[in-house]
Amino acid sequence: MSTFGVRLRAAMARLGPLCVGIDPHPQLLRDWGLTEDVDGLERFAEICVEAFDGRVALIKPQVAFFEPYGSGGIAVLERTIEVLRGSGTLVLADAKRGDIGSTMAAYARAWLTDGPLGSDAVTVSPYLGFGSLAPAFEAAREHGRGVFVLAATSNPEGPQVQAAAAVDGGTVAQAMVDEVAARNRGAEFGSVGVVLGSTLSAAPELVELNGPILLPGVGAQGGGADSVRALLPTHLLSAAVPAASREVLRAGPDISALRAKAEALGDDFAFLQR
């Protein structure tokens, strides 16, 4: 199997750079006329799969919105991942896992191997120390998967940690980016990416990254083509993966409307692949 980074870059070249989220937020369930239970959750996921499967480079289920339904919600998530991956669509599980030792190894086994939740990539938090993520990197390498490391997020609480001074005098966010860059060194295109909020006013230095840059917050949270263009230097635009969830999902539940919204938003970011 080729590496996740290579597969992602090929999917972006073929389908455009957009990542679409599957976020069954309770308000969206209500807006779509669905019940706030496992049946409604499953129908929501089925509609999203039908609308986006094979049409966007990356699909990102938000794990948190499946978990409140217990084992039934996790079963829906398992089926969603299985169907998407079975058809060749890349899946990024937005789980934001982060822990130490055997616990981190268990998270890695859950999301980055061939188990029922096994995805093409997973989001992780490095704020117990970047080294604590080693089990995820090892599982990703062994199984041809990817990892997206939170680096600089756009939530107002983020700078308390991310903008703090690291040991080398730079920011903690920059230290995370530098660690990711070291992981990707020598790769054709790295399988370890970073997560940057698309509405940030400035990004860490990314020149050595050699991997994908996930940019959540497009649309509903105020990010867009202009903010991404302003945030990233021109030579890194081809590594950008803008991510939209509610901005697209508000067009549902009509499948044609969902596809049209995703296509229009993808067109807004066509400049990233030029």
Q: Whose structure tokens read 């807006």? A: 31
Going by C-alpha positions, the residue among 12, 24, 7, 211 that lies closest to residue 120 is 7
Q: Which of 25, 55, 85, 96 is catalytic?
A: 96
Distance CA 160, CA 156 (A): 9
For the four alpha carbons of 225, 62, 22 and 88, in that order, the dihedral sign comes to positive
- Catalytic residue at 60? no
Which residues belong to the active site? 96
